[in-house]
Amino acid sequence: MTTTAGITVSKAETSKLNSLELENIPFGKYFSDHMLEADYENGEWKVAEIKPYQPLLVSPSNAAWHYGQSIFEGIKAFKHENGDAFIFRPHDNFKRFNISAERMQMPHVPEEIFMEGMRKLIELDKSWIPQRKDHSLYIRPFMIATDEVIGVRPSENYKFMIILSPAGPYYNTPIKIYVEEQYVRAVPGGVGYAKASGNYAGAMYPTAQARAKGYDQVLWTDAIEHKYLQEFGVMNGFVIIGNTAITPDLKEGTILAGVTRDSVMQLLKDMGLTVEERPISIDEVIEAHKAGTLKEVFGTGTAATISYVKELRYKDYQMFFDTENYTISTEVKRRLTDIREGKEADVYEWLYKI
C-alpha cells in the first residue's frame, strides 16, 4: 500500500485483463482491476483510496436506495498510437458533476479527489484502454447518499467512487426514434439539467413502449405542449436544416449540458455551419422535411459520441433518412474521433494527459 497526493493505493494481486479480449467488447459489461472510493463524513472528505474492484457492503436502509440521492458522470479515455493515454475534457465533467451535486443537495467533490483520483486510477489501469477505432475506456464517477436511516431529508454521509469499463460502440447502427407525446423526461424547475440517476429510471418505461413499436429511443418533448424538442433518448439532439445546425437550448434547465454537445457545436462552427441553440418544434422539423431542407438528424453523448437517426416518427408521420449519405455529422464524428485518438491536432486543448 502506498499513499501519494492524499490518495491511498492498494494494488490488485492479479489482473482480470488476462482473461478478456478487448476487441468487440460490449459496452459497460466488464470493469477494470481497480476503483476509487472516498467517503464524506462529519462534514469533510476522508482520504480517497484506490483499491481492487470489489463489491460494497451496504445497509438495507441506505438512504440512496430509498430517496434517490444519486448522481453520476460519463467520461472517456483514449490511447494514442504511441501508447500515451488521454482523458477527453474531464474538467468539464468535473464542473457538471458538482452542479448535479448542488441540485441534489449533496456535497461538492474536491478537484484533488475527482481529477487527481481519476488520473491516478487510469494511470494504474492504463492497459485496460482498448487501442482500436471507436473503442475507449469509459469512466464512471458517481456519488450516493450513505446514511442508514429512513427519513426524507438530505443524507449527512456520502460515498464518491470512480469505476472504469473498456467499451466499444454504444450504437453500432443508425437508430430509429419515436417522438414521445405523453410522458416527459423533465420540466422547467426540475432536475433535467442534472445527471441524476432518477432521470434515467423514469425514462425506462416510455422507452420500453417505444421499443415495442420497433424504435430504439424516444425523442422527449416539452411537458407543456409536447411540441418542442428536448433530448433524444439519453443524448442531446441536433437537426441540420439547410446550412444551419439547430440544437435545443439549455435555458429552461430541462436538458443536460452535454460535453460532446458542446464539442460538436464548436466543430460545426469551424466547418462553416451556422449553429443555433434555441427552441425547435417538431412542426418545424416536419415542415423542413416536407420542403426537402432537413438534411440530417443525429444525437450526441459521451457513450454514443454521435448516433445517426435513420427514422423519426411523430404520430403517423414517418421521416426516413439515408444515413449513408450523411456528410456533416460524419465529418464531425471523424474530426472528433481523430482529435481523441491523436490523429489530428488538439487545437481546442480538450485532451488531458494521464
Average pLDDT over residues 259-280: 98
Predicted confidence (pLDDT) per residue in 297-352, tens digit: 999 999 889 999 999 999 999 999 999 999 999 999 999 999 999 999 999 999 99
| pLDDT reading at 173 higher than 60 | yes
Q: What integer best gives the mean pLDDT of the chain?
A: 95
User: In this structure, are strands 351-353 and 85-88 parallel, antiparallel, or unpaired?
Assistant: antiparallel
CATH 3.40.50.300 is the classification of domain 2-169: no
**Given this chain, do its domains 2-169 and 175-340 carry the same CATH topology?**
no
CA pair distance 136, 130, nearest whole angstrom: 6
| pLDDT value, residue 171 | 75
252 band by pLDDT with thresholds 50, 70 and 90: very high
The domain 175-340 is placed in CATH, from the list 3.20.10.10, 3.40.47.10, 2.60.40.3620, 3.40.50.720, at 3.20.10.10
Which cell goes with 120? 491516478
| pLDDT reading at 4 higher than 90 | no
Domains in the chain: boundaries: 2-169, 175-340
pTM for the model stands at 0.95
pLDDT, greater one: 158 or 25: 158
| pLDDT reading at 73 higher than 90 | yes
| pLDDT value, residue 1 | 62
Cβ–Cβ < 8 Å for 68, 155: no
| pLDDT value, residue 46 | 97
CA pair distance 64, 236, nearest whole angstrom: 27
Which cell goes with 347? 487545437
| pLDDT reading at 153 higher than 80 | yes
